[in-house]
Amino acid sequence: MDLKRELKKHAGLKAMHEEAVADISSAGTPDEVEDARVRHLGRKSGLSQLLRSIPELPDDEKPVVGKLGNQVRAALEQQLADRRRELEEGELSERLATEQVDITLPGQPFPRGHLHILTQTIWEIEDIFAGLGYRIAEGPDIETDYYNFTALNTPEGHPARSSHDTFFIEGQPDVLLRTHTSPVQIRVMEKEEPPVYVVVPGRVYRRDSDATHTPMFHQIEGLAVDRNITMGDLKGTLEMFVKAVFGADREIRLRPHFFPFTEPSVEIDVSCMICGGSGCRACKFIGWLEILGAGMVDPKVFGFVDYDTEDFQGFAFGMGVERIAMLKHGMTDLRMFYDNDLRLIRQF
């Protein structure tokens, strides 16, 4: 301690310093700290008086007292500040200690609404395909039979065209509620030349209402037309989609099927996400769940939109959004989606 050793040179300053240090240390409140400051550093304090008297001191004492006196002042000011902060923090801690809350009470509620689970499912699927380079295309719910059937190679007299299965518009026998999102394929291809990569979400309508059918439901359609699109590309694309939606462990398998607007046509199964493929009630003990219809676009469809079938080929696929959501979330009754009971909607 330099200051202590130096103070040996001046008994008066030494005494002043010792007294002040003791006084500040014993101050118990910020007010007492202030009193001590006035007492020891104020204008009337011994230190101030000593420093003021320097010009009257002998020349050899002047530098010693001046330097030492200012060192003492600085040291005491530091001590005062420290002591004041110490006391203030103590007071704050005491006050905070009395202000404890019940941290187990719920937090302030910020409103949180919910997107319908079908919306969440559609957006998830759209985003997967957007990432693969697809645009989102849309088309009207109320369609002509040309776009809904004829241009999709579904001939006159086909059962789907009957008023038993399809809703028709009064007074307009050639206008109907679209039974699938596929007419948008035709509308897109009429407007654009390949390459075409689109997915089409939307409401579709069929004249069916029971435990496993609602008269309105949602589909997502996909269409890729380009120069060298193969069925292998279809398989790879849908495998990527299935793994993105249902998990990387899922596998797909293709089964031949029949649709008027694709050839070859396939149905696509995903390995059961409940049992992993070993067989359970959900997959009817087959280990596979049907989720998609797909195929290579039939040349007749390209004929309706004037695409050259030797130059271009493509694939199309379609899926029921409700089915995807039901499989993913373990729902069992299709009609729940349209009951709009908030006890369901708020779960997702």
Partner 1 sequence: MKVPFSWLKEYVDVDMTAAELADRLALTGTEVERVAAVGIPSGDGNLDRFVIGQVETVAPHPDADKLTLCGVDVGGRVEKIVCGAKNFREGDRTAVCLPGGVLPDGRRLEAAEIRGVRSNGMMCSEAELGISSESAGIMILPEDAPVGERLVDHVAVHDEVLELEVTPNRPDCLSVYGVAREVAAVTGAGLSPEPADDIKPEGHDDIGSLVEISVADPDLCPRYGARLIAGVKVGPSPAWLKARIVAAGMRPVNNVVDITNYVMWTLGEPMHAFDLAKVAGKKLVVRRAREGEKIRTIDGVERSLTPQMLVIADGDGPTAIAGIMGSEASEVSDDTSDILLEAANFDGPSVMATSMELGLRSESSTRFEKGMDVELVPRALAMASRLMTEICGGRLVPGEIDIHGELPPANVVHLRSSRIASLIGVEIDPGETAAILERLGFTVEVEGEGGFRVTVPCFRADVEREVDLIEEVVRVYGLDLIPTTLPSDVRVMGGLSPRQAAEREVARALAGRGLDEVITYSFIAPDYADRLRLAKNDTRRRAVVLDNPISVEQSVMRTIMLPSLLMTVARNAAVRNTGINIFERGVIYLPSEGRKLPDERRVIAACLTDMAGEGWISGGRAVDFYTGKGLVEAVFATVNGSCGLSRSRDPFLHPGKSADIMVGGERAGYVGEVHPLVLSAFDLDIPVTAFEVDLDAIVASSAGTVLFEDLMTYPASYQDLAVVVDDKVDAEKVLETVRSAGAPLLHGAEVFDIYSGEQVAAGSKSIALRLEFRSPDHTLTDDEVNDVRAKIVRELEKKLKATLRV
Report 119-148 residues binding partner 1 (CB under 8 A).
119, 123, 126, 129-136, 138, 140-144
Assess 150 for contact with partner 1 (CB under 8 A): no
Helix (H, G, I), strand (E, B) or coil at 247: coil
Assess 347 for contact with partner 1 (CB under 8 A): no
- Which lies closer to partner 1 via its Cβ, residue 53 or residue 162? 162
Assess 226 for contact with partner 1 (CB under 8 A): yes
Stretch that binds partner 1, among 14-22, 91-99, 179-187, 292-300 (CB under 8 A): 292-300
CB of 65 to partner 1, least distance (A): 52
Asked whether 262 and 294 are in contact (CB, 8 A), the reply is yes
Which residue among 7, 118, 151, 316 contacts partner 1 (CB under 8 A)? 118
Assess 60 for contact with partner 1 (CB under 8 A): no
* CA–CA dist 233, 160 (Å, integer): 30
Phi (first) and psi of residue 273, to 5 degrees: -80, -10
- Which lies closer to partner 1 via its Cβ, residue 2 or residue 170? 170
CB of 238 to partner 1, least distance (A): 9
Cβ-proximal residues to 55 (8 Å cutoff; 6+ apart), any chain = 62
CB of 39 to partner 1, least distance (A): 46
Stretch that binds partner 1, among 11-19, 24-32, 105-113, 327-335 (CB under 8 A): 105-113
Assess 341 for contact with partner 1 (CB under 8 A): yes
Question: What tokens does 98 get?
Answer: 């009395």
Give the Å distances, CA to CA, from 162 to 130, 158, 184, 312. 36, 7, 21, 33
Assess 256 for contact with partner 1 (CB under 8 A): yes
CB of 343 to partner 1, least distance (A): 6
* CA–CA dist 81, 264 (Å, integer): 88
Sign of CA dihedral 226, 229, 231, 235: negative
Stretch that binds partner 1, among 33-41, 48-56, 73-81, 154-162 (CB under 8 A): 154-162
Asked whether 184 and 137 are in contact (CB, 8 A), the reply is yes
For 260-315, the DSSP string reads TTEEEEEEEEEE-TTTTTS--TTTTTSSEEEEEEEEEEPHHHHHHTT--TTT-EEE
Assess 207 for contact with partner 1 (CB under 8 A): yes
Assess 6 for contact with partner 1 (CB under 8 A): no
Assess 285 for contact with partner 1 (CB under 8 A): no
Count residues contacting partner 1 (CB under 8 A)? 89
Cβ-proximal residues to 149 (8 Å cutoff; 6+ apart), any chain = 158, 160, 161
CB of 60 to partner 1, least distance (A): 59
